[in-house]
Amino acid sequence: MKQETKVKLIKYAVCVGVEAVIAFLVIWSKGFFTDSAAVNLQILADAFFVAGILMTLIAGMLFVSGEGALIGIGFVLRNVVLAFIPMGRARHELYVDYRARKLGEAKKRNNSSILVTGLIFLIIGILLTGIWYVKFYNA
């Protein structure tokens, strides 16, 4: 097996592991196996949905930050800190220069594993919710 394929599989395995832990924590906090099948199915749907939506949102935030949308916040925070440091204003740079430097330093990362596994968990959660709705909602 190629090294690139192994790295990709490890990324997917870590993402699925993190989502499984999140789902387990949701299941554990709601008391799985203590109620009827309808409630257990609802808890399972909630667990998959929460894990999926969290990882999908994290993937979105990583994409947005990788495109440079949060550079302005870093620039403002840096200038606030420099304002309180003696002679900090001597290291002041313009926003255009700061943005160019940060975009030059940024590495393009492939975070598709986070998005794909998050969407899969999200779809499973939605499907389980649909099954619960059809089978148990007005029972």
Tens-place pLDDT, residues 85-120: 887 677 778 888 888 888 888 777 888 999 999 999
Query: What average pLDDT does the structure give for the chain?
Result: 88
pLDDT for 24: 94
- Check pLDDT > 60 for residue 139: no
Instruction: For 63-92, write each residue's pLDDT tens digit.
Output: 888 888 888 888 888 888 888 888 767 777
Between 68 and 17, residue with greater pLDDT: 17
Residue 20 phi, psi (nearest 5): -65, -40
Confidence of residue 127 (pLDDT cuts 50, 70, 90): very high
pTM of structure? 0.80
pLDDT for 83: 81
Residue type, 61: M
Angle CA 23–64–121, to nearest 5: 20
**Residue 50 tokens, joined:** 């929460």
In angstroms, the CA 37 to CA 42 distance is 9
Residue 132: exposure state from Cβ atoms within 10 A (0-12, 13-18, ≥19): buried
pLDDT for 130: 94
Residue type, 107: K
Nearby residues of 103 by Cβ (< 8 Å), 6 or more positions away? 68, 71
Chain-centre distance for alpha carbon 46:
17
